[in-house]
Structure 1
């Protein structure tokens, strides 16, 4: 359900108690007591308890009791047990609604606290990346599958190291707080190793050891590492089971430079397999390199079709790198008809001319 749909549903539920009690009153007055609609006044506090506070539910219940008293007296129902039964029904439903509203309020307060803590943790984990590194301009977009909590398991980082600008974009198996913990492990190792390891293969091996030591082969992280040498107009890539980056040439041509052979994701080295092989790609002024997670390319429309990233690369033409990436993110959301069911991270590297 989209945010707009959620607001519409909440608005309907907000007005539903008043509408129900009004309908019951009108029907009772026009049809007479023989129809037996009076106990349905209790639907007012019942619906109010679904989303309202306990005070609002209590007020709705009081109004329902007054209506029940008035209509019961008008219909002469208090000469029999029917009127008192209706009153008992309204009072019982009101008490249940107030109790439910109190419990729901406490749960929502606890959940809001957890989400606030998780959001702070996420901001610390995915700290702002530098917007430029020499001639390279950087833009980032992150959308979590846990939209209300704004947390997820995708990761990214940009580090200006002695060996060039080093970048990682990765995707942790799973979602939520457990995935955030794993992402923190990978990013912590990357931020340290990026300044110490002389080449990307050694850097990937160090990340593999860190992940394997903590996760024991139970989870994994797909990742692509990039090392940009702007003065030499080239980028070195290492792919660990991750989707290949998108390269937009100066003339608008689109490529997906793939590795000679895909290595296992980080954390699965205990199962054997060949180490990742580095490969170079020309990266010249006026060109763009987009690193992303599968939450982008695997976003499906109503017909089940994946997002056509190659066909939408022209959305990256905006002179402002962040605006271009935001346009692409919005297009992914439109394609999926709403927020994605998977985390989606994108990191755009743009080689500025001049």
Structure 2
């Protein structure tokens, strides 16, 4: 009786080829030193018949995908993000297949959640649905391993760094959350310039239940003093976000931290936002920043003005909160003053009108998604400024889709 019941109710837990392949990587990677991750990945890809494996990581300026060195890896030249198959896979988060004389070259995005870590490239003689499915899952596991091991080594940082980086920039990059996040209801992306010398600009976000919390800041000054202020401002913001609820309390906590630590002659400009990703309701505190731009159907619809609130650190003011209602597909572009105050030919400031014209011009082209569109805007603005970024210049974009994501929690 017992045997019959066991036979009727038992589940097949035998290990198939795909599980063995992914399981071997998972089992070995846990204790493997960072420098041996690359050979292990190449070994696992070879079991599927893959060869010439490359792991490509984005450089800090978001211009190139740089090959990670390592035994058994194919290490070629960096590939440009613009116009290359690797760049297309990275920016769009989709697999790109390029037929070759002997086989197919695959470029698989390495996604940590929705944040692009890099690209895994490999060549196979033949490619079918089974290989596509297995390699897609392998790429997801490789991304997770790279993110985990990144905390234990400088190897990945050194690969991504293409020129000397200032101490203040090192501090700022260590503060940042992932540069992108994408869930069905909302997407965000951010970019910092100059990547290797940024000091006082930063941003932060967190999605807690249905509320997306966002902060974009600009600490006065340059160098380590600005980086120190930005560090305390972001630390205070995160603490307040995890303890308090309202924007007013977040602002007050940051204001108190900066004024106590640095005194009355130092300040941090900031934008603090709550976005309800289910309804599109947005609350905004603008403490000394240029007004965000509301982009609707590819064009700037309005500047999201709000009553002036003093920058963080001046002490004690009750912030003024403005309510806005987003429509599905709306984008909100936040930017710091380094974008519009840069001097162009003739010595005049770049200005908000030029920024809006650039946004509208790019909006006439087909959208490739929030991250590639923001990167394209950043590089366009830099060209329009004559290649100069003498002050920190930050862009942060939100795109609201609405709807729900509960269906994703149900397994087929």
Which TM-score applies when normalising by structure 1?
Answer: 0.62
Kindly tell me the number of residue pairs found equivalent between the two proteins. Answer: 236
2: CA distance between counterparts of 1:238 and 1:131?
22
Structure 1 residue 311 corresponds to structure 2 residue 311 = no
1:220 maps to: 267
2:373 maps to: 324
TM-fit CA distance, 1:140? 1.0
1: CA distance between counterparts of 2:207 and 2:199?
25
TM-fit CA distance, 1:143? 0.2
* Bigger strand share: 2
Q: 1:188 to 1:177 in 2, by over 3 A?
A: same
Structure 1 residue 335 corresponds to structure 2 residue 384 = yes
> Segments of 4+ in structure 1 off by > 4 A?
113-119
Residue ranges of structure 2 left out of the alignment (5+ in a row): 1-162, 404-412
1:136 maps to: 186
* Bigger helix share: 1
Q: 1:194 to 1:133 in 2, by over 3 A?
A: farther
Structure 1 residue 300 corresponds to structure 2 residue 343 = yes
Q: CA offsets per residue over residues 114-150 of structure 1, 9 Å max, x none?
A: 9465543232122424512551111111003xx6x43
SS of residue in 2 equivalent to 1:227: strand
User: Which of residues 312, 321, 325 is equivalent to 1:282?
Assistant: 325
User: Which of residues 383, 393, 396 is equivalent to 1:347?
Assistant: 396
TM-fit CA distance, 1:186? 0.6
Q: Is the 8 A contact 2:287 2:312 kept in 1?
A: yes
Q: 1:184 to 1:310 in 2, by over 3 A?
A: same
Q: 1:185 to 1:163 in 2, by over 3 A?
A: farther
Q: Is the 8 A contact 1:223 1:240 kept in 2?
A: yes
Residue ranges of structure 1 left out of the alignment (5+ in a row): 1-112
2: CA distance between counterparts of 1:119 and 1:339?
17
2:252 maps to: 205
2:216 maps to: 169
Q: Is the 8 A contact 1:159 1:191 kept in 2?
A: no
TM-fit CA distance, 1:352? 3.2
Q: 1:222 to 1:117 in 2, by over 3 A?
A: closer
The answer to which structure, 1 or 2, has the higher relative contact order (CA under 8 A, 6+ apart) is 1
User: Which of residues 258, 264, 267 is equivalent to 2:305?
Assistant: 258
Flag the structure with larger Rg.
1
1:123 maps to: 173
1: CA distance between counterparts of 2:312 and 2:349?
29
